[in-house]
């Protein structure tokens, strides 16, 4: 069965650089969520999209932005990277139904040096 | 505010013994409750969920969880632990009150199964 695809798997950036993380949801899933998991931390909600529109916003820094495209894939853009942005970034997708949990991707590990 | 509490940072269980990973929640309305497992350097994997119906929910890998409304708990259980069950377990809650719902995670409990 198709899963949530995230790319790249690993990314190393220097401080003040820019990074773009991509997420491809399961086919026919119209909702995408982004989570950030710092070392030893629980996942923290960043932002979500439903039908290409932002549906909710969590603890996402102003330096980050995201969007969902017409094919439902989503990109998380991170600028002016800081050392504290080093984390595992998960994308999850969900169909338009409240009885479902999310299906998570394997994550992108971002290391800022 | 919605919240999920996992009171134990770590649980150690001998292989073959029953295991319990505790979770309590605080939400308004009827919660949807989930357990996810995370293996090292891996994504979050769905284990089981409670939406409605039978309070005892069975999930993947022989895990089950019991929804207790009066105690606002959703403890994860397994009758006989395996070494391969060693991982990080997250309890989560979702309150679908509107289009903007999302899952809130507990802090996680690290489960060590001792051979």
Which of B42, B43, B105 shows the shortest C-beta gap to A42?
B105
Quick one: pLDDT at residue A50?
Answer: 84
Q: How far apart are CA B53 and CA B56, in angstroms?
A: 9
Q: What is the mean pLDDT of residues A49-70?
A: 90
Which residues in chain B have Cβ-Cβ distances shorter than 8 Å to A103? 46
Residue-by-residue DSSP string for chain A: ----EEE-SEEEE-TT--EEEEEEPPTT--EEEEEEE-TT---EEEEEEETTEEEEE-S--TTEEEEE-TTS-EEEEE-S--GGG-EEEEEEEE-S-TT---EE---EEEEE-
Q: How far apart are CA B32 and CA B103, in angstroms?
A: 9
Quick one: pLDDT at residue A100?
Answer: 61
Quick one: pLDDT at residue A5?
Answer: 94
Mean pLDDT of chain A: 89
**Whose CA is closest to A93, among A5, A8, A6, A4?**
A4
* Residue ranges of chain B whose pLDDT lies below 50: none
> Residue A11: exposed, middle, or buried by beta-carbon count in 10 A (0-12, 13-18, 19+)?
middle
Quick one: pLDDT at residue A80?
Answer: 97
pLDDT band at A54 (very low <50, low <70, confident <90, very high): confident
pLDDT band at A70 (very low <50, low <70, confident <90, very high): very high
Please determine, for residue A58, whether its predicted confidence score (pLDDT) is greater than 90. no
> Residue B29: exposed, middle, or buried by beta-carbon count in 10 A (0-12, 13-18, 19+)?
exposed
Cβ atoms A61, A8 nearer than 8 A: no
Which residues in chain A have Cβ-Cβ distances shorter than 8 Å to B99? 50, 55
Which residues in chain A have Cβ-Cβ distances shorter than 8 Å to B103? 33, 45, 101-102
Nearest residue on chain B to A50, judged by CA atoms?
A: B99
Quick one: pLDDT at residue B99?
Answer: 52
pLDDT band at A108 (very low <50, low <70, confident <90, very high): very high
Does the beta-carbon distance from B105 to A107 stay under 8 Å?
no
Which residues in chain B have Cβ-Cβ distances shorter than 8 Å to A43? 44, 90, 105
Which of B41, B99, B106 shows the shortest C-beta gap to A42?
B106
Quick one: pLDDT at residue B100?
Answer: 52
Q: Per the structure block, which two tokens stand in for B69?
A: 């409304």
Top pLDDT among A49 and A112 is at A112
Q: How far apart are CA B71 and CA A8, in angstroms?
A: 43
The pLDDT > 70 percentage for chain A reads 94
Model pLDDT for residues A76-102, shown as the tens digit of each residue: 999 999 999 999 999 998 876 555 667
Top pLDDT among A31 and B87 is at B87
Q: What is the mean pLDDT of residues A5-29?
A: 95
pLDDT band at A35 (very low <50, low <70, confident <90, very high): very high
Quick one: pLDDT at residue A76?
Answer: 97
């Amino acid at each position: 069965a198709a899963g949530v695809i995230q790319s790249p798997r690993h990314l190393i950036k220097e401080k003040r650089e820019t990074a773009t993380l991509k997420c491809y949801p399961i086919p026919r899933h119209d909702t995408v969520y982004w989570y950030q998991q710092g070392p030893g931390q629980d996942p923290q909600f960043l932002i979500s999209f439903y039908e290409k529109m932002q549906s909710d916003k969590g603890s996402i820094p102003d330096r980050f932005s995201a969007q969902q495209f017409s094919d439902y894939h989503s990109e998380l853009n991170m600028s002016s990277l800081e050392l504290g942005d080093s984390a595992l970034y998960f994308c999850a997708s969900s169909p338009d139904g409240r009885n479902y949990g999310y299906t998570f991707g394997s994550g992108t590990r971002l290391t800022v040096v | 505010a919605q919240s999920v509490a996992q009171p134990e940072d770590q649980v150690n269980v001998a292989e073959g013994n029953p295991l319990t990973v505790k979770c309590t929640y605080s939400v308004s309305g009827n919660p949807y409750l989930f357990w996810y497992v995370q293996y090292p350097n891996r994504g979050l994997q769905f284990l089981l969920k409670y939406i409605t119906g039978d309070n005892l929910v069975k999930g993947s890998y022989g895990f089950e969880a019991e929804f207790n409304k009066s105690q606002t708990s959703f403890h994860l259980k397994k009758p006989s632990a395996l070494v391969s069950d060693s991982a990080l377990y997250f309890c989560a809650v979702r309150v679908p009150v509107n289009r903007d719902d999302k899952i809130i995670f507990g802090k996680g409990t690290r489960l060590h199964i001792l051979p």
